[in-house]
């Protein structure tokens, strides 16, 4: 029985890796073909396609795919946009290291907070 469970687990890992590779290939194809024709339209940094690639690489095809769908659904003309890094990814680390950004990844202001005046 343990051999069967190990075999099933190995198969699921292989399928997950194959699905992730396929999804990454689809996003890269979009970035190389369609995205240059559309121009920069994303309201966030990193762009939605870069976010999707990073989410898939960091979190895998299921969680990363859901994160990407949620992000893409928020990217529309009525949205304010801004900095939205992938949690646990390299873009989040870059934002944390940037001295010009606060904890919510917004630009720091030189004005003191209202309660500090």
Separation CA 53–CA 81 (nearest Å) = 19
Contact 57, 16 (CB under 8 A): no
Contact 21, 30 (CB under 8 A): no
Checking if the pLDDT of 115 tops 80, the result is no
- At 68-98, the pLDDT tens digits run 999 999 988 888 888 899 999 998 888 888 8
Contact 89, 55 (CB under 8 A): yes
- At 8-61, the pLDDT tens digits run 889 888 998 999 999 999 999 999 999 999 888 888 999 999 999 999 999 999
Only one residue has tokens 């680390």, namely 93
pTM score? 0.81
Sign of CA dihedral 67, 72, 73, 75: positive
State the greatest distance between any 2 C-alpha atoms of the chain, in Å, as a whole number. 68
């Amino acid at each position: 029985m343990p051999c069967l469970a190990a075999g099933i687990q190995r198969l699921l890992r292989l399928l997950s890796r194959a699905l992730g590779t396929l999804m990454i290939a689809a996003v890269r194809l979009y970035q190389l073909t369609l995205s240059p024709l559309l121009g920069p339209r994303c309201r966030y940094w990193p762009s939605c396609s870069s976010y999707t690639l990073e989410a898939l690489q960091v979190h895998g095809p299921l969680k990363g795919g859901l994160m990407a769908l949620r992000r893409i659904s928020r990217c529309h003309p009525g949205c304010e946009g801004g900095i939205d890094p992938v949690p646990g990814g390299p873009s989040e680390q870059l934002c944390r290291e940037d001295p010009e950004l606060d904890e919510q990844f917004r630009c720091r202001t030189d004005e003191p907070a209202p309660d500090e005046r």
